[in-house]
Amino acid sequence: MHMYKKINPANICELAVKIESLSLGLYTFGAKHSEDPEVAKLCGDLALRESEHNAFFQTLLKKTRQEGFSDFFDWLIKGASTDDFIMQLDEGMESRVINQMGLRLDPALLAAMTPKELLRFAIQLEETGIEFYSGLEKQVKAAHKKYIIDLANEERRHLRDLLGLLKRLEMASVRDWVRVD
């Protein structure tokens, strides 16, 4: 007989809001303060998208708190991979996202980051978002799966864009110190 766990929709929404808020904060900072125009532009574009994600989960969190439940999530959670995801949420993901990455959103620390360091940090946030939304996909009702899948895919596109820009900046750095005749 398989064990079933109950999910707390408010906690899931709160974590989604925290992830999106961290990303939004980082991208807003990068857009305003990056010395590299390509990094500033990408951060500005990503800040707009993360703002939309944040607003969605803020609204869902408010509705969940007011109604005491959510029609977005399945109440019964089953299956080994699902249980692993819930355990990961309970034991590690929030502390990893909030404690490790949240501390680095200190403006003084961000101001000291180079454009490449900012991109590497953003890559960590996007990877966490992908992991979170990919796991969450199994927790939402069928009517809402498409949104979560689209959200995970959008985070993958963000990751691809960040990795591409980081690669271009690193290649430019190599060209700066290697003379080609």
The pTM of the full predicted model, rounded to 2 decimals, is 0.78
Q: What pLDDT, on the 0 to 100 scale, is given for residue 29?
A: 92
Q: Quote the CA–CA distance of 112 and 86 in Å, as a whole number.
A: 36
Mean pLDDT of 17-29: 89
Q: Which phi and psi angles does 140 have, rounded to 5°? A: -95, 155
Q: What pLDDT, on the 0 to 100 scale, is given for residue 106?
A: 73
Give, in order, the Cα–Cα distances in Å from 45 to each of 24, 51, 92, 105, 106: 10, 10, 30, 19, 22
Is 97 buried (19+), middle (13-18) or exposed (0-12) by CB count in 10 A? buried
CATH code reported for the domain at 5-177 = 1.20.1260.10
Q: What is the pLDDT of residues 107-152, one digit of tens each?
A: 778 888 889 998 998 998 888 888 888 888 877 778 788 888 999 9
Mean pLDDT of 68-93: 55
Q: Quote the CA–CA distance of 103 and 26 in Å, as a whole number.
A: 12
Confirm if 134 and 159 have CB atoms less than 8 A apart: no
* SS3 category, 6: strand
Confirm if 115 and 35 have CB atoms less than 8 A apart: yes
Confirm if 122 and 27 have CB atoms less than 8 A apart: yes
Q: How confident is the model at residue 172 (pLDDT cuts 50, 70, 90)?
A: confident
Which of 37-46, 62-71, 119-128 shows the lowest mean pLDDT across its residues?
62-71
